[in-house]
Structure 1
Amino acid sequence: MPVRRRLSTFTGFGYDKGKPLPVCALWVLVEPILRSVVIPSSLRVRALRAFGAEIGTGVLLRHDVRIHWPWKLRIGNDCWIGVGAWLLNLEPISIGDDVCISQGVLLCTGSHQADNPAFEFDNAPIRVEDGAWIAARATVLRGVTVGCDSVVGATALVVKDVEPGARVVAPRAEVRFA
């Protein structure tokens, strides 16, 4: 039998933002400014480090990249994060070395308990290992590890671990003409 959600009973039980409210509020004010096309990647990286992100050398962080909580982010060396990527890291996101996160990618560590009337959180970290490529507009959901040197194709939806060296592609739509 389906569970009726009672959203008024949601408490957020067990979720920890990781920093005090004033730090979270300051990030919410700074983050939109950093997304501007006129802000250089090097300044974005420095600001993220100032807020607690661990970021290696040679990282290219394009404009319009959204990062929920920088203190829950680790990016290795020589990574590219493409325009419009969204790292929704309610829980930690760890990105290895030589990783390409392409345009419009969503890495989402958050979810909800579908069978819980209060719709409480069901969050889990995401790990992207060395040499992986997550192509344009792909989505990787909570609890997933994207293995070393793997490829997640454009628009793919990833809900379980990707083996090292594997390729995951979105299903192709069949086009029929009358």
Structure 2
Amino acid sequence: MSRLTIWGCLIVLMKIPSRVGGAIRRLDLRARLGACGHGVFLGSGFRIENPEYVQLGDNVYFNDQCWISTVPPEVGAQAPTLIVGANTYVGRFAVFACMQKIEIGQKVLISDRVFISDSLHGFRQLGVAVADQPIFSPGPVLIGDGSWIGIGASILPNVKIGKQCVIGANAVVTHDVPDFHLAVGVPARVTRRIDEKTLTNNIS
């Protein structure tokens, strides 16, 4: 029993530096963000490129292993802007790629493994590898207050999702979704307006 206790203590001691280092890195990130509200939580493995272009509102919560990539202005046509509104939750393994503008409203629920991007790789130059073609932004991504983005969904460039929308699991959103509507499928299509009748049908 004493031997197990000693090994247990050693394991705990070995973990302390990584935990402290992770906390220090997250504090450093907060200091370098373009704006950071109160109560922001950044989970373990959180990664961000060019944090000065990112603004996080109060009580934004990023779960573990999320990645935010913003393209600096020397690569893009303008400085990018990525805004996450207050009280928004972002699930594990989410990826945000921003070249122009991504704006996520307040109290948005973003499930695990969601991909949101306002940019694409060029691919029209025949004989040139896609990796060697420039990236570009067809337009911004806007997500309205109170919406829910289902697990594994992809939100592609030049898309506006309205207020309190629901995007189904694994959907690929390529067109706008009006306020209070449900969109599902690949590519996603708007199937119905969310109202009391919709809720009753879903429950029954």
Aligned counterpart for 1:153 among listed residues 165, 168, 178: 168
Query: Do structure 1's residue 49 and structure 2's residue 33 form an aligned pair?
Result: yes
Q: Which of these two proteins has the greater Rg computed from alpha carbons?
A: 2
Contact between 2:99 and 2:136, CA under 8 Å: does it hold in 1?
Answer: no
Q: Which amino acid aligns with 1:168?
A: A
Any idea what the Cα deviations from partners look like across 1:80-124, whole Å, max 9, x if unmatched? 011000001122110110001110000021124554557554412
Distance in 1, matches of 2:100 and 2:94, equals 17
Residue equivalent to 2:85: 76
Q: Compute the RMSD of aligned alpha carbons.
A: 2.8
Aligned to 2:199: none
Are 1:59 and 1:80, in contact at CA under 8 Å, matched by a contact in 2? yes
Tell me, yes or no, if the aligned pair for 1:39 and 1:63 is still in contact at 8 Å.
no
Q: Distance in 1 between matches of 2:162 and 2:58?
A: 21
- Count of residues paired in the alignment: 135
Q: Report if aligned partners of 1:82, 1:102 keep a CA contact under 8 Å in 2.
A: yes
Instruction: State the match for 1:98 in structure 2.
Output: 107
After superposition, the Cα gap between the structure-2 partners of 1:168 and 1:89, relative to the gap in structure 1 and judged at 3 Å, is: same
Contact map agreement 1:44 1:61 (CA 8 A) in 2: no
Deviates more, 1:69-78 or 1:90-99: 69-78
Q: Which has the higher strand share?
A: 2
Write the letter of the residue equivalent to 1:79: T
What secondary structure, in the 3-state scheme, does the structure 2 residue paired with 1:46 have?
helix
Question: Any stretches of 5+ residues in structure 2 without a counterpart?
Answer: 1-17, 35-50, 72-79, 187-204
Structure with higher helix content: 2
TM-score by length of 1: 0.66
For residue 110 of structure 1, the aligned residue among 115, 119, 136 is 119
Aligned to 2:67: 66
Q: Which stretches of structure 1, 4 residues or longer, exceed 6 Å deviation after superposition?
A: none
CA contact (8 A) 1:45 1:55 kept: no
Q: Which structure's relative contact order is higher, taking Cα pairs within 8 Å and 6+ residues apart? A: 1
TM-score by length of 2: 0.58
Deviation, 1:132, is 0.8
Q: Is the 8 A contact 1:79 1:99 kept in 2?
A: yes
Contact 1:125 1:144 in 2 (8 A): yes
Deviation at 1:47, TM superposition (A): 5.2
Q: What SS does the aligned partner of 1:68 have?
A: strand
